[in-house]
Structure 1
Amino acid sequence: MRGRRRLGGVVLGLVLLVAGATAGRAEAYTVGVENLDYLPAYGVRDGAYAGYARDLLDAFAAAEGIDFDYRPLPVPRLYATFLAGQLDFKFPDNANWAAARREGLSIAYSAPLARYVDATLVRPERRGQPVATLGTVSGFTPWAWMARIQSGQVRVLENANFTALVRQALAGRIDAAYANVSVVNRQLDQVLGDPGGLVLDPGQPHDASAYHLSTLHHPEVVGRLDTWMLANADWVAQLKQRHAVEKGFDDLD
């Protein structure tokens, strides 16, 4: 009998020890992110995820006892991996992106983490002029221009990265660049040293929307993120301003 009691005590002790270790362990989730330099919104630099999105999600995770494992993937592979249910979360995401691939899936989206503007940027002297050649970054589709592209009015030239795209527009080898305004402004200000070298042309096609965090598996965590952002709205606004992540919206007015 004593042996049984002693064994029972050992088992109970092990159960309590495991339970205690589990209780002290942070929730751990994988976040699929785009493996590219899209700063200031987000980007992968020297193998590490960085930018506004990293600062925001890390602050939320720290407050909620969560451990986010950021997994950079090429954009096509990121879509396939996330939609196959192999990631806990995807950022950035938007219900309007690749909408046909989402049919039949129950995806939960957070409130907007940041607004963005994809727009037509030109040299200041070309503002308001017709566009015949439009530059983009390889892999990105200028949806706002598709009608004119398909009709043959506009020819698209792709570039390997944002720096190459901005250089091409500055040199006048294309009439305009179609890209994220905050990303282009960072290239102009910090990389190429030519602030204002390209400006948004509000009369040309553009797309203004927002970035969201999405999930197939954890809508309750998305709900917690929404609540946290509301409770820390002033801090989130300051973070957006510090990163200049929403630059471009004022130019559309």
Structure 2
Amino acid sequence: MQQQIYRVGVEDIDYYPMYSNKSALDNPGFLIDVLEIFAKQHNIKFEYIHLPTTRFHEWYQKENIDFRLPDHSLWNSGNEGLVFSEDIINLRADTVVLKENRKLPESEIRTIGTLYGFIPGPQWASRIEENNIEFVYEGSTRILIRMLKKGLIDGLDLNIHVVKHYATELGYDANDFALATHAPSTQFSYQLSTTSHPDIIRQFDAFLENAKNEVAALKRANNIYN
């Protein structure tokens, strides 16, 4: 029986262990690992199309993809017709700072680095409205980590596992980076979305329910502890 092939749009950025850019074929990351197990169980094939994060909202209309990964309803205002899976992984949006600054008062966190195309977390909404915090955008996780290490920014709106991975790659001590204890935080999750294949989403939801042990093992294999 011939495999059905589906195109999955993935952000073309360095964000391992969650996911990687198109050059990292040997280490696609946790999210794609999960999809690959699902695909094998259902005799389907996913083709991963790495696309610019800055045009995230145009992927379905312009790139002819079947699914988008990762996605979440919070990132899609007025984008009707999207169907979302259950949560693949639940995470906490925190602010990563240098370890010696982990107890810095929130009022002293004035510049936050994040990636182009990323939306500031809702925990920063009031500070943004008051115009007393600045978000600095870059196209590289590595550049943002270097900026934090040099004191050019106060914190990072990036996942702590991602920061520690690339900090180690850059030759820094991963333990030099920590979560700010006085910065606001919020819960969020990564989901799979589609505009045209709700049947696959239903199958994927059933898979997530029945494969909790396998997903947990993948988290451990990718050094994700949440």
TM-score, L = length of structure 2: 0.88
Residues 210-241 of structure 1 deviation map (CA, whole Å, 9 limit, x = unaligned): 11111111111111112122222111111112
Q: What is the deviation of 1:159? A: 2.9
| SS in structure 2 of the partner of residue 235 of structure 1 | helix
1:35 aligned onto 2:12: yes
Residue identity matched to 1:186: H
The 8 Å contact of residues 12 and 22 in structure 2, kept in 1 or not, is answered as no
Residue identity matched to 2:39: A
The range that moved more, 90-99 or 106-115, is 106-115
- Match for 2:148 among 163, 169, 188? 169
Which 4+ runs in 1 deviate beyond 4 A?
none
Q: Return the alpha-carbon distance in structure 1 between the equivalents of residues 198 and 63 of structure 2.
A: 14
Superposition pairs for residues 104-115 of structure 1, below 5 Å? 105-115=80-90
| SS in structure 2 of the partner of residue 90 of structure 1 | strand
Q: Return the alpha-carbon distance in structure 2 between the equivalents of residues 134 and 53 of structure 1.
A: 26
> 1:47 and 1:175, CA in 2 relative to 1: closer, same or farther beyond 3 A?
closer
| SS in structure 2 of the partner of residue 38 of structure 1 | coil
Q: Return the alpha-carbon distance in structure 1 between the equivalents of residues 53 and 136 of structure 2.
A: 20
Q: Whose helix fraction is larger, Structure 1's or Structure 2's? A: 1
1:97 aligned onto 2:75: yes
Q: Return the alpha-carbon distance in structure 2 between the equivalents of residues 132 and 47 of structure 1.
A: 33
Q: Return the alpha-carbon distance in structure 1 between the equivalents of residues 48 and 8 of structure 2.
A: 5
> 1:164 and 1:158, CA in 2 relative to 1: closer, same or farther beyond 3 A?
same
- Match for 1:159 among 138, 149, 152? 138
Alignment-derived partner of residue 99 in structure 2: 124
1:44 aligned onto 2:21: yes
Q: What is the deviation of 1:108? A: 1.7
> 1:59 and 1:161, CA in 2 relative to 1: closer, same or farther beyond 3 A?
same
- Match for 1:74 among 52, 72, 76? 52
Q: What is the deviation of 1:196? A: 1.3
Residue identity matched to 2:58: A
The 8 Å contact of residues 114 and 240 in structure 1, kept in 2 or not, is answered as no
> 1:174 and 1:217, CA in 2 relative to 1: closer, same or farther beyond 3 A?
same
| SS in structure 1 of the partner of residue 220 of structure 2 | helix
Matched-pair identity in %: 28
**Structure 1 runs not aligned, ≥5 long:** 1-23
Higher relative contact order (CA 8 A, sep 6+): 2
The 8 Å contact of residues 20 and 28 in structure 2, kept in 1 or not, is answered as yes
Residues 97-146 of structure 1 deviation map (CA, whole Å, 9 limit, x = unaligned): 1322x1xx222211111123332111222223221232223332323324
- Match for 1:195 among 160, 171, 174? 174
Alignment-derived partner of residue 56 in structure 1: 34
> 1:146 and 1:120, CA in 2 relative to 1: closer, same or farther beyond 3 A?
same
> 1:203 and 1:60, CA in 2 relative to 1: closer, same or farther beyond 3 A?
same
Q: Return the alpha-carbon distance in structure 1 between the equivalents of residues 135 and 59 of structure 2.
A: 29
Q: How many residues in Structure 1 have an aligned counterpart in Structure 2?
A: 221
Q: What is the deviation of 1:149? A: 3.3
**Structure 2 runs not aligned, ≥5 long:** none
Q: Return the alpha-carbon distance in structure 2 between the equivalents of residues 134 and 95 of structure 1.
A: 23
Aligned-CA RMSD value: 2.1
> 1:30 and 1:124, CA in 2 relative to 1: closer, same or farther beyond 3 A?
same
The 8 Å contact of residues 188 and 196 in structure 1, kept in 2 or not, is answered as no
Q: Return the alpha-carbon distance in structure 2 between the equivalents of residues 185 and 47 of structure 1.
A: 18
Q: Return the alpha-carbon distance in structure 1 between the equivalents of residues 110 and 38 of structure 2.
A: 45
Q: Return the alpha-carbon distance in structure 2 between the equivalents of residues 41 and 215 of structure 1.
A: 20
Q: What is the deviation of 1:188? A: 2.2
Q: What is the deviation of 1:164? A: 1.3
Superposition pairs for residues 5-44 of structure 1, below 5 Å? 24-44=1-21
> 1:33 and 1:45, CA in 2 relative to 1: closer, same or farther beyond 3 A?
closer
- Match for 1:218 among 197, 201, 205? 197
